[in-house]
Structure 1
Amino acid sequence: MLNTIRRSLSAKFLILFSVMLITAGINLMHFLYFENLKHSDEYTLNVLGEQKLLIQQMEYYAISIAEGANDYRTIDESRKNLEENIQEYDSALQALTNGGTFGGRYLTPPTEDIRTYITSNNQLWNEYKQRVKLIVNSEIHGQEFQDALRYMDENTHELLTINKQIAQGYTNLADYKWQLANEMTMLFIILNAIVFGLAFVYTRRFLRPLKMLTSTINSLTKGQHEVRAKVMTNDDIGILARSFNSMLDIIHARTKELELKNKISEKVNAHINALVKKESESNQRLQLLAVKLKEQAEKLREVDVAKEEFTSMITHELKTPLVPIQGYCELLLDGTLGELTQEQKEKIQIVYESSLSLLQLIQDVLDVHKLELGKMNLSIRDVTAKELIDRSIKRFKPVVETKNIELVDGTEPEIIVRCDPERILQVINNLVSNAVKFVSDQNGRIKVSARRENGSVVFVVEDNGIGIPKEKQQNLFKKFYQVDASLRRNTGGTGLGLAICKGLVEAHNGKIWMDSDEGRGTKFYFSIPIGGMN
């Protein structure tokens, strides 16, 4: 059933992602298309501007040749410049006429109206070009030179006018294109609004039952064992809620059964103790009672085995749907599935953090269960205390930096401890996490250190936070205990962290204790024998 729910949720998110991806792709194609048109239009207008400049330069060089009759250096340089201008103008005009490339970049193809102006320009330019060549190649004082110079003077203005008409035609064409681009942009804005509106509605519909399920879980952690999740929909989340309620009913029934068996066991033990005290009872009766006791003990062991198997199965089944939920939340938050509004991001962040809290709660319950049964497997090896503390500081560095909290290391590098590094790191992380919750965001200070003391390595996590009242310190290491309910609401947590710390430290043949004054901060200590354990 959980696999079916996971596949259904995956399909829905895949459809949503596909629609958002298609919308984003269309937007990108639209943007790139009109951006290319814009660059082409701008470059075409630049070429027309260069043509205008070439015409003015040709007129200037022709006059320079006429006025510099005795300066042969000026005349030769001007004739060379005129020849270059003719070649450049021909190349640019040919590219404008054919709508091809010029200078390695595409020019905007001309419309029919623009082509009419270009044709007129070609006709006038061919005649104009012949006169420019006469100026380049004929004698200055000859009649041909004077006629060509007179022709240029009379027709330069007309050539510039046609150039201006062509430029105006391309300007009008560019304005039309951008008017069309603006209309297309408005269309895509409306389309995006519809797509993201549907995404918002679907996300809201998806979040509400998950929040109700999370609220139910929080109530269970506070000891309200009769609470059940409200089934709000008939979709995958509704199926998950009904399955969750069925699981709670099974757990409740098994718990009642175990309580009854425990009561029976207590009565049996009391009866055995009474029989032992009676010296007048015969050995045969004692043997009979021993047999019954053994049978009862076997039954209790079977109950423990069943309890362990059931707990493992429940934690596995609870973890399975959380993996795709967390994965898709991460895809939505980092923009892989498309951009979300700020409100959508905040809602998705709530779901993501709630799923992380639920996963941590499941892991904490499983750890507590293993510690109670003495089945916590440890991987023992030598490690430096500084390595463990550095890893913890690195993990919390982003959190303390955003809160302006000082987190420092006061450990010498050569202190070696024999332990399970990951489990001891879990203890340090739990203590540092608690310290971060209860220090001031502006002037908070947390120090993590380790030292050798009486054949053990003593780790210390101290802070300058709000401290803990003396009357409540003796219960801190009990399961599900927190100083008061307001702290649970403000900082989160299930009350299992310190209980797990105590179990892990004692599994290493160590001990854990604390020292705190209300309003003056808190110090948590735990020690591990230097020789460790096998």
Structure 2
Amino acid sequence: MSPVNPDDSDESNKSEAVKSRTATDPNANLSQIQNNVKELPDQLLLMYRAVESTRNGVVITDPNRPDNPIIYCNPAFAEMSGFRIDQIIGRNCRFLQRDDREQPEILEIRKAIAAEKPITTILRNYRKNGQVFWNELTVSPVHDASGKLINFIGIQNDVSARKEAERRVSEFYSVISHELRTPLTSINGALRVIEDGSAGRVNAGVMKMVKIALGNSERLMRLISDILDLKKIESGKFKLSLQKLPPMTVIDTVIETLKPLADEKKINLIKDVKTHQSALFDPDRVVQILNNLTTNAIKYSPDGTDIILRVENPSSDSTRFAVIDNGYGIAREEIEKLFGRFQQLDSSDKRAKGGTGLGLFISKSLVELHGGHIGVESSPGHGSTFWFEIF
């Protein structure tokens, strides 16, 4: 029989005494708990002080009592809700929702509690003064050594500022989608009518201004489209329409679309098809990726050079597209940040400007939605090869 350490026994008795007094009084408040702090073992005292001082709200409930009442909350939770601690202890957490209890997240919490499973969600709660606040809540069950459920602990974080930012971003996208894109489409159409002569002849000075306005209008339209694509991608709502097609079809589309732009700089767009094997991809999005890569190649290449659009099969289950130019090349330090949001190539050495800084980031995202990857091989003065591979 092993000897019993009297100190261990004494510490255990103190802990049990504190637990007993807390458990038998669901209305125990902070001052009552603090009166027992001196009886806690050092390790438990450290934990208690940590929970008391954290900026996250913490509540503990007792599911073995009627209505699963709160038996402990820390000062951060009291400050978050606007209630005093003695006004919180003994109540069910749903008092924070008032009459706003049709939130689907509440049902999910109930299901998790019934199944004794952890859950993280966001609830719309109300402070004591009636002000709405958004509460990011993680509820976890607590079991004793025998596996019996004894408590639930909730860790709370006020995310009202984040929700307000999300609301403003949503309004911003709505303005872009409806208040900007619609009139820009009309402006673009009117400028096209003047440019092609359908509205009558104009002098060279007016035509020059029309072309400048049209170029900037189209750039703004691209920016709007890029921002809306970015929103869909980051929200996880971007869906691909996959089809099994010969990859040369998208090469043909890109060359046909961008030939007028290339002709302005006397650049030759050369098709190099090394495979006729069909692949599964979203043709519109692969065209979008190749358009981005090829447009960049045209902008950053000297007049009179060649740009190759290549497609091949590195393996039986992958298709690789590449855009190869003889342009200025890219420095190593620029390559490392090239596929980030709002990143543009250095515009020195007479390079063209005017991109949105989103094209490569969106291209990378679209490639990854296909389960593929994208990259670039380049060095200053030796041109660049932008490639992506889909499976």
Query: TM range, normalised to the smaller chain?
Result: 0.5 to 0.7
**Contact 2:275–2:311 (8 Å) recurs in 1:** no
Separation in structure 2 between the aligned mates of residue 352 and residue 268 of structure 1, nearest angstrom: 47
1:217-246 CA-partner distances (Å, limit 9, x unpaired): xxxxxxxxxxxxxxxxxxxxxxxxxxxxxx
2:310 aligns to what SS in structure 1?
Answer: strand
TM-superposed CA distance for 1:302, in Å, is 8.5
Deviation at 1:337, TM superposition (A): 2.3
2:212 and 2:175 map into 1 onto residues whose CA distance is 27
User: Which residue of 2 is the match for residue 380 of structure 1?
Assistant: 242
Residue 228 of structure 2 corresponds to residue 366 of structure 1: yes
Equivalent in the alignment of 2:189: 327
What's the CA shift for 1:523?
0.6
Change (3 A) 1:419 1:304: farther
Deviation, 1:284, is 7.5
Corresponding residue number in structure 2 for 1:473: 335
Contact 2:176 2:224 in 1 (8 A): no
After superposition, what is the alpha-carbon deviation per residue over 1:75-111, rounded to whole angstroms, capped at 9, x for unaligned?
Answer: xxxxxxxxxxxxxxxxxxxxxxxxxxxxxxxxxxxxx
1:398 to 256, 260, 271: 260
**Which of 206, 211, 216 matches 1:349?**
211
Encode CA deviations 1:355-388: one digit per residue, 9 max, x unaligned: 1111111101111111111111211111111111
Instruction: Name 2:311's counterpart in structure 1.
Output: 450
Asked if residue 512 in structure 1 is aligned to residue 378 in structure 2, the reply is no
**Do the aligned residues in 2 keep the contact of 1:312 with 1:366 (CA within 8 Å)?**
no
2:324 pairs, out of 428, 448, 462, with 462
- What whole-Å deviation, never above 9, does each CA across 1:241-276 have from its counterpart, x for those lacking one? xxxxxxxxxxxxxxxxxxxxxxx99x989xx8xxx9
Give the gaps of 5 or more residues in structure 2.
1-132, 143-148
Alignment partner for residue 288 of structure 1, among 151, 154, 159? 154
Q: Is the 8 A contact 2:300 2:352 kept in 1?
A: no
More helix by share: 1
Pair 517,299 (structure 1): closer, same or farther in 2 beyond 3 Å: closer
One-letter code aligned to 2:310: S
Displacement of 1:392: 0.7
**Per residue, is there more strand in 1 or in 2?**
2
State how 1:402-441 maps to structure 2 within 5 Å. Answer: 402-412=264-274, 414-441=276-303
Once residues 359 and 326 of structure 1 are traced to their aligned partners in structure 2, the CA distance between those partners, rounded to angstroms, is: 9
Please say if residues 446 and 462 of structure 1, whose CA atoms lie closer than 8 Å, have aligned partners that are also in contact: yes
Unaligned runs of 5+ in 1: 1-263, 277-282, 530-534
Taking the TM superposition and a 5 Å limit, the aligned residue runs for 1:87-126 are none
Describe the shift of the 1:494–1:310 C-alpha distance in structure 2 as closer, same or farther (beyond 3 A): closer
Instruction: Report the 3-state secondary structure (helix = DSSP H, G, I; strand = E; otherwise coil) of the residue aligned with 1:475.
Output: coil
In 1, are the aligned partners of 2:136 and 2:159 still within 8 Å (CA)? no
Question: Counterpart of 1:288 in structure 2: which amino acid?
Answer: G
Query: TM-score, normalised on structure 1?
Result: 0.43
Q: Distance in 2 between matches of 1:414 and 1:382?
A: 12
Residue identity opposite 1:316 in structure 2: H
Larger radius of gyration: 1
CA distance in 2: counterparts of 1:299 and 1:371, whole angstroms: 23
Distance 1:497 1:393 in 2: 18
Higher relative contact order (CA 8 A, sep 6+): 1
Structure 2 letter corresponding to 1:508: H
Q: Is the 8 A contact 2:289 2:366 kept in 1?
A: yes
**Aligned-pair distance for 1:287?**
2.2
CA RMSD after TM alignment: 3.4
CA contact (8 A) 1:386 1:415 kept: no
Deviations 1:455-510 (A, max 9, x none): 21111111111000012111000011113254898331121110010010011111
SS at match of 2:298: helix
